[in-house]
Amino acid sequence: MKRTLFLLFCGLISLMASAQEAASPNGNVRLKFYLDGTRPAYELAYKGREVIKPSRLGLELARDKHASKGLEETDLMDGFGIVDYKTSTFDETWKPVWGETATIRNHYNELAVTLKQQSTGRNIIVRFRVYDDGMGFRYEFPQQDNLNYFIIKEERSEFAMNGDHTAWWLPGDYDTQEQETQQSRLSEIRGRFDKAVNWGNSSVAIFSPTGVQTSLQMKSDDGLYINIHEAACADYATMHLELVDAHTKQLTTELKGNSNVYTPAPQPSAYPLPAPMTFVSHLTPDATGLKGCMQTPCSTPWRTVMVSDDARDMLSSNLILNLNEPCAIDDTSWIHPTKYCGVWWEMIVGKSSWNYTDDFPSVQLDKTDYTKTKRNGRHAANTEKVKQYIDFAAANGLDQVLVEGWNIGWEDWVNMWKRDVFDFVTPYPDFDIKALNDYAHSKGVRLMMHHETSSSTQNYEHHLTEAYKLMNRYGYDAVKTGYVGDIIPRGDHHYSQSMNNHYLHVLKEAAKHRIMVNAHEATRPTGLCRTYPNLVGNESARGTEYEAFGGSRPDHTCILPFTRLQGGPMDYTPGILETQLKNWSDNPNIVHTTLVGQLALYVTMYSPLQMAADLPENYAKYMDAFQFIRDVACDWDDSRYLEAEPADYITVARKAKGTDNWFIGGKCDENGHKSNIRLDFLDEGRKYECTIYADAKDAHYEHNPKAYVITKKTVKKGDVLKLTEAPGGGFAISLFAK
C-alpha cells in the first residue's frame, strides 16, 4: 500500500508539470488538458486553429445538512492535482433501430484524467472523447468515502471562444425553447436578448441577459462551424450557457419570467469571472434553486463541441448519438417509423376546438357530467370526423391518425394550477374509442394516442399505468405527450433534473407497454433516443404550429437541423400545402414557405415520425404535390448532405430503408437558392424514375406560395439536376429505381 502511495505521489509531481493531449483519429481535432494552477482546464483546436481557448472545469456544490458523512460540501472547483491519466482508442460500428443511416461508426480517442482534491481527498475523473468532428467531455464521480452524495449549486464548465462569432441562439430559459432563433454576433446577444424572449409562451423563466440554450451553432469569421451541446442528459438538469461578455459583472444574477411562481434568484459565484467571450454552463434549477442531487458512482452528461470547416459535417455528425449508451430495450421489433395525419391543425388554426363544450366555467373530473351538457359544435375529435381522417390515412398510405381532444378535461386544461386536469382514459361522449379503433384497424391504420399533461406531472404519473393499459387494450402503439404550461409540482421547471427524470420515467413505462413516445414541450433531446429508441420524436422547439400563431421566419427550418435536431428527431409536423390559412379559416396568417418548401421538409428535417399535418380537404386540392408525401420514406439506409449553410440552405439526399430508392430535399431561406445536384450516389448502370417537385419561376412564400411545377424524367448516376428554389421555397425529388 505504501509503495502505491509513493508511486502515486511521484506521478503527481510529474503529471502536474505537463499537459495531456489527445487527438482525433484523423488528427484534425486536438484536445489539451492541464491544470491552471489547481483548476482543471482544457483547450481544443481543429486543423491547427483554436476552437476553445483555455477554459476551466469544475462544479460548485451546495452546502447541505445531508452532506456525505458530515463533511462540508467543498466545491469541486480547485485544489486539484492529477493522479492518473489513461488514453485509449475505440472503434465500433453499430446499427440504430431507426436513423439517417443503416450503420453508425463510433470512432474516437479517449483521455481520462483522474484528479484528486488534496484538501478533501476526493477523486473525480474528467473523460474526453475526441472525434474527427469534435469532442465530448464529462465529469465522473466514483463512489468513495468522501463523496457519496452531493448537491450541485452550479456546474462551471467553460467554453472560451476565440472570436466574436456569429451565433444562432435562443434565449436561455428554464421552461421553453419555442422562440425564434436569433442570428447575431456573440457581443450582440445582450442587446437583443429582451426582444428574443417569447413572452407570449405559456411558461417563460429566463435567468441572464446573455443566457442561451444549446445546441448552439456558431460560425467563426475564418469559416469554422462550431456547435456546443450535450449528450446523454439523464438524471441531471439540462444545461444552458451563459456568455461572459464585456458587460458581465458576475454570473447568473438576473432572473425574469412571466410566471410569478417564485423562483429563487441564482446566487453569484465566488470564483473569478472568465475572460469575455467565454460561455459558462448554467444548469436548470429545482424549486429550491439548486441544480442537482447526485449519488456516486455517477457522471454528468457529455458536454459536446462539434467543429468543422464544412457546414455539412455539422449535419452528418453522429457525435451526440455516439456519446449515448447503446440501446437498453431488448426487443425493439415493435418500434417503427411512422407517417401520420391527425385531428390537430384545424384546432391549431382556431377553426375547431379541443374542448367538447363551452358551457362549463371549470371542470372537476370526478364531478362534471358531460352527458348533461351540449356540444359546442366545434369539437373536432368526434367519431364522424375521425372516421374521415382514418379513411384519408388508409387511402394514402399513412400509418396512423393522431386525435387530440378525445378525452375529457379540455375545458380548463392549462395554467390554472389545477393538478387533476385529465385522467387520460375517459373519452368525450362523441368519441367512440372502441368503434374508431376497430374501424381504423379494419383499414390497416392505427389511431395515435394523445396525452396532454398540461405539465401536471404528478397527475400524469398517477394515471400512467391505466392510460397505457387502455392503449394496449385498444391497439394504440404510439403516444404524443404534451407539457404545455407551468410545471406541477409548483416551482419546478421543464428542464430540471426531476423533470428530466420524469420524461425518462414515462419513456421506460411506455416501453414496458410497447408504446412509442413523441413528447412535446419536453426537455431538449440529447441523443437518448439511441438508448431508448421508443422516443421516436420530440418537439422541443418552435414547430409548424407557430405558423398559425403569427409565423416563423423562412430561414427557421434551415437553422433547426444545425441546432435542435442535433439531439434527436423533431416532430415538426410539416406538409401544410394550403399555406394561406385564410383560404379555409378565419386565421389571417401564412406559412412562411412555398408549398414545395413544405414537401422538402420531409427530407431535410430528419425524423422517423412524419406528419402530413394539413387537412384532407386541403390535400385534395393538391393531390399531385401530395403524391410526394405519400411516396417519401421516413427511415433511411443512407443520407448525403450535399449543400448546407446555417440559416441559408440545406440539401440532402437519402436512400429509403431496405430499397434502392432515393429522395432529395432542398430547403432555403427568404433569399432563394440555386442547386446543382450531381447524382453521384446512385447505383452505377441503373435507371431511376425521377419526379421533381419544384417551385415555379415566380413562386414566393409570401406572394405566390402555391406555384409549383412537377417534372418527371429518367435519370442515372452522374446526371446533374439544376434547381431553383424560390424565396422561402425548396424542392423535393423522388428517385425510384427501375
Q: Near a second copy by CB under 8 A, which window of 299-307, 432-440, 497-505, 591-599?
A: 497-505
Smallest distance, a second copy to C-beta of residue 261, A: 5
Q: Near a second copy by CB under 8 A, which window of 124-132, 273-281, 460-468, 722-730?
A: 460-468
Indicate whether 9 belongs to the interface with a second copy (CB under 8 A). Answer: no
Smallest distance, a second copy to C-beta of residue 535, A: 19
Indicate whether 676 belongs to the interface with a second copy (CB under 8 A). Answer: no
Q: Near a second copy by CB under 8 A, which window of 84-92, 163-171, 282-290, 308-316?
A: 282-290
Whether omega before 489 lies within 30 degrees of 0, making that bond cis, reads yes
C-beta of 65 vs 722, nearer to a second copy: 65
Long-range contact set of residues 181-189: C-beta below 8 Å, sequence gap at least 24: 181/556, 181/559, 181/560, 181/563, 181/647, 183/559, 183/647, 186/161, 186/218, 186/243, 186/245, 186/277, 187/245, 187/246, 187/277, 189/243, 189/245
Please state, in angstroms and rounded to a whole number, the distance separating the CA atoms of residues 234 and 82: 28
The DSSP result for 606-650, as a single string, is: --SEEE--S-HHHHGGGHHHHHHHHH--SSEEEEEEEEEETTTEE
What grid cell was written down for 113?
A: 484524467
Please state, in angstroms and rounded to a whole number, the distance separating the CA atoms of residues 576 and 597: 10
What grid cell was written down for 727?
A: 424565396
Indicate whether 144 belongs to the interface with a second copy (CB under 8 A). Answer: yes
Indicate whether 696 belongs to the interface with a second copy (CB under 8 A). Answer: no
Indicate whether 329 belongs to the interface with a second copy (CB under 8 A). Answer: no
Pairing of strands 708-716, 149-155: unpaired
Indicate whether 489 belongs to the interface with a second copy (CB under 8 A). Answer: yes
Please state, in angstroms and rounded to a whole number, the distance separating the CA atoms of residues 47 and 45: 7
Count of chain residues binding a second copy (CB under 8 A)? 47
Q: Near a second copy by CB under 8 A, which window of 109-117, 491-499, 663-671, 709-717?
A: 491-499
Contact indicator for 493, 463 with CB cutoff of 8 Å: no
| CA dihedral (597, 336, 681, 225) positive or negative | positive
Indicate whether 463 belongs to the interface with a second copy (CB under 8 A). Answer: no
Indicate whether 434 belongs to the interface with a second copy (CB under 8 A). Answer: no
Smallest distance, a second copy to C-beta of residue 715, A: 53
Please state, in angstroms and rounded to a whole number, the distance separating the CA atoms of residues 519 and 513: 16
Smallest distance, a second copy to C-beta of residue 410, A: 15
Indicate whether 151 belongs to the interface with a second copy (CB under 8 A). Answer: yes
Indicate whether 418 belongs to the interface with a second copy (CB under 8 A). Answer: yes
Q: Near a second copy by CB under 8 A, which window of 458-466, 557-565, 684-692, 716-724?
A: 458-466
Q: What is the DSSP letter of 565?
A: G
- Taking CB under 8 A as the criterion, the residue among 256, 375, 505, 640 binding a second copy is 505
| CA dihedral (634, 637, 640, 644) positive or negative | positive
Indicate whether 152 belongs to the interface with a second copy (CB under 8 A). Answer: no
Please state, in angstroms and rounded to a whole number, the distance separating the CA atoms of residues 645 and 675: 13
Per-residue contact track with a second copy, 287 to 306, x per CB under 8 A? xxxx--x-xx----------
- Taking CB under 8 A as the criterion, the residue among 47, 192, 336, 462 binding a second copy is 462
- Taking CB under 8 A as the criterion, the residue among 331, 362, 371, 722 binding a second copy is 362
Q: Which residue has the cell 462551424?
A: 225
Where in 202-261 is the site for a second copy (CB under 8 A)? 258-261
Smallest distance, a second copy to C-beta of residue 484, A: 13
The DSSP result for 146-186, as a single string, is: TBSEEEEEEE--EEEESS--EEEE-B-BSS---SPPEEEEG
C-beta of 368 vs 704, nearer to a second copy: 368
Q: Which of 545, 578, 670, 725 is catalytic?
A: 545
Nearest Cα neighbor of 540 from 566, 564, 561 is: 564
C-beta of 117 vs 618, nearer to a second copy: 117
Indicate whether 458 belongs to the interface with a second copy (CB under 8 A). Answer: yes
Smallest distance, a second copy to C-beta of residue 259, A: 7
- Taking CB under 8 A as the criterion, the residue among 81, 491, 569, 574 binding a second copy is 491
545 flagged as catalytic: yes
**What beta strand segments (E) does 625-737 contain?**
636-645, 649-656, 662-668, 673-678, 687-695, 708-716, 720-725, 730-737
Indicate whether 416 belongs to the interface with a second copy (CB under 8 A). Answer: yes
Please state, in angstroms and rounded to a whole number, the distance separating the CA atoms of residues 573 and 612: 7
Most distant CA pair in the chain: distance in Å? 84
Question: What is the contact surface with a second copy in residues (CB under 8 A)?
Answer: 62-66, 143-145, 148-149, 151, 258-264, 286-290, 293, 295-296, 361-362, 364, 412, 415-419, 458, 461-462, 465, 486, 489-492, 498, 501, 505
Active site residues: 545
